[in-house]
Amino acid sequence: MKFDVPAGKAADFEVAQQTSPEQAILYRLSGDDNPLHIDAEFAAKLGFTQGPILHGLCTFGFVGRAVIQGACQGNADRLKSLHVQFKKPVWPGDEIVTRGWNLDQNQCALDVMVRGRDEAVLGGAYAELQ
Protein backbone atom coordinates (compact mmCIF):
# COMPACT_ATOMS: atom_id res chain seq x y z
CA MET A 1 0.00 0.00 0.00
CA LYS A 2 1.29 3.48 -0.85
CA PHE A 3 -0.21 6.91 -0.38
CA ASP A 4 1.14 9.75 -2.50
CA VAL A 5 1.41 13.33 -1.28
CA PRO A 6 -1.44 15.24 -2.99
CA ALA A 7 -0.01 17.57 -5.66
CA GLY A 8 -0.82 21.25 -5.23
CA LYS A 9 -2.50 20.83 -1.83
CA ALA A 10 -1.02 22.49 1.25
CA ALA A 11 -0.01 20.14 4.04
CA ASP A 12 -2.52 19.63 6.84
CA PHE A 13 0.31 19.77 9.36
CA GLU A 14 4.02 20.46 9.61
CA VAL A 15 6.15 19.51 12.59
CA ALA A 16 9.82 20.52 12.82
CA GLN A 17 12.04 18.79 15.37
CA GLN A 18 15.69 19.48 16.11
CA THR A 19 17.97 16.51 16.69
CA SER A 20 20.92 17.06 19.00
CA PRO A 21 24.58 16.82 17.93
CA GLU A 22 25.07 13.95 20.41
CA GLN A 23 21.91 12.11 19.32
CA ALA A 24 23.82 9.21 17.70
CA ILE A 25 25.86 8.67 20.85
CA LEU A 26 22.64 8.41 22.86
CA TYR A 27 21.25 5.84 20.42
CA ARG A 28 24.19 3.53 21.17
CA LEU A 29 22.10 2.65 24.23
CA SER A 30 19.60 0.90 21.90
CA GLY A 31 22.25 -1.79 21.37
CA ASP A 32 23.36 -0.67 17.91
CA ASP A 33 27.15 -0.65 17.81
CA ASN A 34 27.49 0.08 14.06
CA PRO A 35 30.54 2.36 13.72
CA LEU A 36 28.74 4.29 10.95
CA HIS A 37 26.77 6.03 13.70
CA ILE A 38 29.71 7.05 15.89
CA ASP A 39 33.07 6.89 14.07
CA ALA A 40 33.85 9.80 11.69
CA GLU A 41 36.75 7.99 10.04
CA PHE A 42 34.64 4.90 9.35
CA ALA A 43 31.77 7.06 8.02
CA ALA A 44 34.15 8.90 5.67
CA LYS A 45 35.41 5.57 4.26
CA LEU A 46 31.80 4.80 3.31
CA GLY A 47 31.37 8.18 1.61
CA PHE A 48 29.75 10.08 4.47
CA THR A 49 32.38 12.83 4.66
CA GLN A 50 30.04 15.01 6.77
CA GLY A 51 30.45 12.47 9.57
CA PRO A 52 28.53 9.67 11.27
CA ILE A 53 24.86 9.45 10.32
CA LEU A 54 21.87 9.31 12.63
CA HIS A 55 20.35 5.88 13.29
CA GLY A 56 17.33 5.06 11.14
CA LEU A 57 15.50 4.08 14.33
CA CYS A 58 16.01 7.60 15.66
CA THR A 59 14.73 9.24 12.46
CA PHE A 60 11.75 6.86 12.47
CA GLY A 61 10.99 7.83 16.08
CA PHE A 62 11.06 11.54 15.27
CA VAL A 63 8.59 10.98 12.41
CA GLY A 64 6.30 8.91 14.62
CA ARG A 65 6.26 11.68 17.20
CA ALA A 66 5.48 14.24 14.49
CA VAL A 67 2.52 12.18 13.25
CA ILE A 68 1.18 11.80 16.78
CA GLN A 69 1.46 15.55 17.30
CA GLY A 70 0.20 16.65 13.87
CA ALA A 71 -2.35 14.04 12.77
CA CYS A 72 -3.41 12.48 16.07
CA GLN A 73 -3.67 15.66 18.19
CA GLY A 74 -1.24 14.16 20.70
CA ASN A 75 -3.15 10.88 21.16
CA ALA A 76 -0.56 8.12 20.57
CA ASP A 77 -3.30 5.46 20.70
CA ARG A 78 -4.49 6.71 17.28
CA LEU A 79 -1.25 5.76 15.47
CA LYS A 80 -1.88 2.26 14.10
CA SER A 81 1.17 1.91 11.82
CA LEU A 82 3.92 3.95 10.24
CA HIS A 83 5.57 3.02 6.93
CA VAL A 84 8.70 4.62 5.48
CA GLN A 85 11.51 3.96 3.05
CA PHE A 86 14.88 5.41 4.02
CA LYS A 87 16.25 7.50 1.12
CA LYS A 88 18.92 9.90 2.38
CA PRO A 89 20.94 10.15 5.60
CA VAL A 90 20.14 12.41 8.51
CA TRP A 91 23.03 13.74 10.58
CA PRO A 92 22.99 14.41 14.30
CA GLY A 93 22.06 18.07 14.76
CA ASP A 94 19.80 18.18 11.68
CA GLU A 95 16.26 19.52 11.97
CA ILE A 96 13.73 16.96 10.71
CA VAL A 97 10.62 18.47 9.10
CA THR A 98 7.59 16.22 8.72
CA ARG A 99 4.64 17.42 6.66
CA GLY A 100 1.42 15.43 6.48
CA TRP A 101 -1.70 15.29 4.37
CA ASN A 102 -4.80 13.70 5.89
CA LEU A 103 -6.17 11.55 3.08
CA ASP A 104 -9.12 10.50 5.21
CA GLN A 105 -9.66 9.98 8.91
CA ASN A 106 -7.47 6.84 8.90
CA GLN A 107 -4.68 7.60 6.44
CA CYS A 108 -1.99 10.24 6.24
CA ALA A 109 0.61 10.74 3.48
CA LEU A 110 3.95 12.12 4.68
CA ASP A 111 6.86 14.12 3.31
CA VAL A 112 9.98 14.05 5.50
CA MET A 113 13.01 16.20 4.86
CA VAL A 114 15.82 17.97 6.67
CA ARG A 115 15.58 21.75 6.88
CA GLY A 116 18.00 23.32 4.40
CA ARG A 117 18.13 20.29 2.10
CA ASP A 118 15.73 20.11 -0.82
CA GLU A 119 15.32 16.34 -0.84
CA ALA A 120 13.21 13.79 0.98
CA VAL A 121 15.10 11.76 3.57
CA LEU A 122 12.20 9.28 3.74
CA GLY A 123 10.13 8.25 0.75
CA GLY A 124 6.80 6.50 0.33
CA ALA A 125 6.01 7.49 3.89
CA TYR A 126 2.50 7.15 5.29
CA ALA A 127 0.69 6.53 8.52
CA GLU A 128 -2.42 4.53 9.25
CA LEU A 129 -4.55 5.90 12.06
CA GLN A 130 -7.41 4.56 14.13
83 catalytic residue (yes or no): no
Catalytic position from the list 4, 8, 31, 37: 37
| Residue 121 contacts residue 114 (beta carbons within 8 Å) | yes
Question: Hey, what amino acid is at 126?
Answer: Y
Q: Which of 38, 53, 68, 96 is catalytic?
A: 53
The residue from 12, 32, 111, 123 that is catalytic is 32
56 has catalytic annotation: yes
Q: How many CB atoms lie within 10 A of CB 9?
A: 9
**Is 128 exposed, middle or buried, given 0-12, 13-18 or 19+ CB atoms closer than 10 A?**
middle
Looking at 56, 61, 93, 124, which residue is catalytic? 56
User: Does residue 129 contact residue 71 with C-beta atoms inside 8 Å?
Assistant: yes
Rounded Cα distance, 112 and 94, in Å: 12
Query: Mind telling me the catalytic residues?
Result: 32, 37, 53, 56
